[in-house]
Amino acid sequence: MMRRARKKRWGNELARARARRLADFNERIAFASCGDSLPVHTVEGRSWAYIPIHAFADDLPLLRELDLTPGDCQNVDAYWRTEDDAYFVEVYTTTLSSRPPGLRATWWHDEAPQLHLFAVIDAPAITRRVFESVLEQFSAHDLSIPVGHMRRWPLL
């Protein structure tokens, strides 16, 4: 009986943490819509949304404004909301990262524990299309990794 109660309590805690992550993402959307420079992107055919922290190599007006070139876009971080959760995603090119190409995940233990997704790709720069293809790759995996299950978890 104690084991069932503990399992139920754990399930409730996971649900509360997921709700906090989704609420945090929605607050970021509200903040972005108030004139912040962080755009909210959606993916056609998906109920996803993401808020990139860095410019994409194909966002030429923003790159001009920031005095950057497409080749400067070697990493993009973003908050990503899927159908039922929110994640922090980092994508790096092999030029910038010392890690080999691949997908990885680890838990961040903040106020609401959050799965941190990390990808290294073999590309000259990160365009929006490349970034969204990484999101597609992540979505092909079961991201319901238990909190604290592993420090670093290779997905591929």
Q: Give residue 132's domain range.
A: 2-154
Q: Considering only CA atoms, which of 46, 117, 51 is closest in space to residue 80?
A: 51
- Residue 29 predicted with pLDDT over 90: no
pTM of the entire structure?
0.79
End-to-end Cα, the chain, rounded Å: 38
pLDDT in tens, 111-140: 666 788 999 999 999 999 999 999 999 988
Say how many domains are in the chain. 1
